[in-house]
Chains A and B, each alone.
Chain A
């Protein structure tokens, strides 16, 4: 044994009477002494201020959760109700006029048909569609969400969830990493570094996927609007749509807690360790600065990622729709092959192919679905590989009439979007953080399996009932 440790042990035994925390206590005593000398003023620790009363309401066992659901539903309602008009305007400008203009330009310079196809009908249309559909809701949602964060609401949500995580055998700090996941799961996974126990950290990493990331909000908001919201009377449509999105988010919380509990009882057995969550003071949000930075850091970043991915994805979609193998295109073979499985779980082959194309970025799921649906149904609406102008209403027409979608498809797409595997960036981050092939594979396939099982169950019950 090392000489140093031997000495340490001997002297420790000798001074044991002074208590093991003598050093920490000496520091603490000095901190108290100094602060007593230099801190003054009336203070107000013994008065119940508005912030304490607000905390009592926001973190109350009774009101905490209803207030949380209402708050998020409100944010989604503002997003959905506010995004319609600008979305339609952008769609008209970019997809209709922009595409027509580019067709003229390409015709004028005598470009070959395949080039026009790849560039204009593939890359440009996918990009234009992503911008017009995603930019308006994101430009409303992210600033609102960031304002809630800046004000100090998110730690209160974490506080409310702490009890649930304790029940699940997970670390209370997991509620914080989950909050981070609502922006980006890769960031959420990195944030799990604040959890000291490796077991609880793995639970947090494996379940972070169920916090809906930036890339999935547009899918949920759009599908919630055109399928769920549309079932309600006109005046209530956006309220119902907002509730469905908030409901999906809450379901994500529930799944996180349940899966954490199952993991803590099976593959990652152990007790929850205690921690103290400090509730920060409410700070008046800095309106303009918050809106500015959230536009740049979140909205434009997400949009940029979608555009960077949508261009190549548009090219891939155009190619698989136009390269023929035998009597069918590659896309048709893939969709045809996956269709039985897709139908069984209440989705369809197009959706499953779209999720394969969209592994690098969830942002492009909806554009991919629309383009594939149009490409495969050789209707008068679209030539092969060409996507026409689509606002939300037309998207619904395409999906229901050409794609054969119904309410079940909409509901299950929302569930699938919530539960399915993390994107490749998040998986890379998980690999980087765990350095374990086993846990990286777990975090890819456990959610995917769950998504298939839940969708299949919903589809079976749905069909039995109707």
Chain B
């Protein structure tokens, strides 16, 4: 994994996926649950993932809150917020509704997408079901296109093991170019490692090195670039231009409406309005 992850020289022993719980003695901070956010946070962390992969369990594990956890998809429709502290730094955590894709239509999935794109979290955690990785990777790859710093929380490792499924998390981290933390959040395994990965990404101790994003046909690639240029000319401040260009190429009706009404430019600025 360290092949793709730049580790700052001042912190030579800052690994991402430890098998122990982490403690001060091996250079890994112990995170403290801080419940609801009471002070100004140093960084904002969005928690995303497919429905029913344990996002709320991860969120509760890190923050110590008791956000209702149910064994069924679509339970979290409202955004929940909490915090945890690692060392001197306070992290604000946002639990987003489950989503299979960033290209979808229902209001809760749009809420998750808009927050990721325009709420500008510092770090994005994508929680995945280790037992259904292929389906989960679809979202991971989409998020990787737009998120600067992300970590893959490979949850439900215990369940996958019982199903006889093994995931090579090192190979996964190498292929994706993002840190991968194997977890079993229900029993608390991997939470400390995840907290440290978040801290590492936020402080720059860890850096995502995404491999080349999904390879497109050269003709389509050229088309995307052409739309990107037109977008930049009309909306100079727009973030995630490539992603928007891809959606426009597909004929996304919502975004076309935004362009026509001239409201697209505003998307770059509403810090909270997205949800």
User: Which chain A residues have a beta carbon within 8 Å of chain B's beta carbons?
Assistant: 1-5, 7-8, 11-12, 14-15, 18, 20-24, 26-32, 34-35, 37-44, 149-152, 154-155, 158, 173, 176, 179-180, 190-191, 193-196, 277-278, 280-281, 283, 286, 293, 296-297
Question: Considering the complex, which residues of chain B in the window 35-75 have a beta carbon less than 8 Å from any beta carbon of chain A?
Answer: 51-52, 66, 68, 70-75
Q: Measured between C-beta atoms, what is the minimum distance from B153 to chain A in Å?
A: 15
A286, closest chain B residue (CB): B186
A11-B249, A31-B141, A193-B107 known; A26 vs B71 contact (CB < 8 Å): no
CA–CA, A283 and B233, complex, Å: 52
A39 near B74: Cβ-Cβ < 8 Å: no
CA–CA, A151 and B72, complex, Å: 10
Q: Measured between C-beta atoms, what is the minimum distance from A329 to chain B in Å?
A: 44
B24 at interface, CB cutoff 8 A: no
Instruction: Give chain B residues whose Cβ lies under 8 Å from the Cβ of A193.
Output: 77, 97, 106-108, 111
User: Which chain B residues have a beta carbon within 8 Å of chain A's beta carbons?
Assistant: 51-52, 66, 68, 70-75, 77-78, 97, 103, 105-108, 111, 131, 133-135, 137-138, 140-142, 159, 163-169, 171-172, 175-176, 186, 214-217, 219-220, 223, 226-227, 230-231, 233-234, 246, 248-251, 256, 259-260
A26 near B214: Cβ-Cβ < 8 Å: yes
Q: Measured between C-beta atoms, what is the minimum distance from A177 to chain B in Å?
A: 8
A23 near B163: Cβ-Cβ < 8 Å: no
Which label, helix, strand, loop or mixed, suits the secondary structure of the A interface?
A: helix
Contact partner, A38, options B51, B172, B214, B248, Cβ 8 Å: B172
B141 near A27: Cβ-Cβ < 8 Å: yes
A38 near B133: Cβ-Cβ < 8 Å: yes
Instruction: Give chain A residues whose Cβ lies under 8 Å from the Cβ of B135.
Output: 31
Selected A-B contacts with CB under 8 Å, 22 pairs: A1-B260, A5-B248, A5-B259, A7-B227, A8-B256, A22-B220, A23-B216, A23-B220, A23-B246, A26-B217, A27-B141, A32-B134, A35-B137, A39-B165, A149-B70, A151-B71, A190-B77, A191-B75, A194-B74, A194-B107, A278-B51, A281-B131
B137 near A31: Cβ-Cβ < 8 Å: yes
Instruction: Give chain A residues whose Cβ lies under 8 Å from the Cβ of B230.
Output: 3-4, 7-8
Q: Measured between C-beta atoms, what is the minimum distance from A11 to chain B in Å?
A: 4
Q: Measured between C-beta atoms, what is the minimum distance from A5 to chain B in Å?
A: 6
A22-B220, A193-B106, A281-B159 known; A4 vs B141 contact (CB < 8 Å): no
A4 near B106: Cβ-Cβ < 8 Å: no
CA–CA, A194 and B75, complex, Å: 9
18 more contacts with CB within 8 A, not counting A31-B138, A43-B165, are A2-B234, A8-B249, A8-B251, A11-B226, A14-B223, A15-B223, A18-B220, A22-B216, A23-B250, A29-B214, A31-B135, A32-B134, A38-B133, A150-B71, A152-B72, A194-B77, A286-B186, A296-B66
Instruction: Give chain A residues whose Cβ lies under 8 Å from the Cβ of B111.
Output: 193
A40-B168, A193-B107 known; A283 vs B74 contact (CB < 8 Å): no
B166 near A158: Cβ-Cβ < 8 Å: no
A283 near B165: Cβ-Cβ < 8 Å: no
Q: Measured between C-beta atoms, what is the minimum distance from B179 to chain A in Å?
A: 15
- Most chain B CB neighbours (cut-off 10 Å) among A11, A37, A150: A11
Contact partner, B223, options A4, A11, A44, A281, Cβ 8 Å: A11
B166 near A41: Cβ-Cβ < 8 Å: yes
CA–CA, A190 and B77, complex, Å: 7
Q: Measured between C-beta atoms, what is the minimum distance from A29 to chain B in Å?
A: 8
Instruction: Give chain A residues whose Cβ lies under 8 Å from the Cβ of B169.
Output: 38
CA–CA, A42 and B166, complex, Å: 8
Q: Measured between C-beta atoms, what is the minimum distance from A25 to chain B in Å?
A: 9
CA–CA, A30 and B107, complex, Å: 28
Contact partner, A283, options B71, B137, B259, Cβ 8 Å: B71
Across the A-B interface, the 6 shortest Cβ-Cβ residue pairs:
A41-B166, A196-B106, A31-B137, A11-B223, A35-B134, A7-B230
A44-B164, A176-B72 known; A195 vs B106 contact (CB < 8 Å): yes
- Most chain B CB neighbours (cut-off 10 Å) among A4, A41, A195, A281: A4
Q: Measured between C-beta atoms, what is the minimum distance from A192 to chain B in Å?
A: 8
Q: Measured between C-beta atoms, what is the minimum distance from A16 to chain B in Å?
A: 10
Instruction: Give chain A residues whose Cβ lies under 8 Å from the Cβ of B171.
Output: 37-38
CA–CA, A189 and B135, complex, Å: 29
A31 near B106: Cβ-Cβ < 8 Å: no
CA–CA, A427 and B169, complex, Å: 48
CA–CA, A14 and B159, complex, Å: 47
Contact partner, B227, options A8, A32, A35, A149, Cβ 8 Å: A8
Instruction: Give chain A residues whose Cβ lies under 8 Å from the Cβ of B260.
Output: 1-2, 5
Q: Measured between C-beta atoms, what is the minimum distance from B175 to chain A in Å?
A: 5
A278 near B73: Cβ-Cβ < 8 Å: yes
CA–CA, A11 and B229, complex, Å: 12
A40, closest chain B residue (CB): B166
Q: Measured between C-beta atoms, what is the minimum distance from A327 to chain B in Å?
A: 53
CA–CA, A286 and B223, complex, Å: 52
A283 near B159: Cβ-Cβ < 8 Å: yes
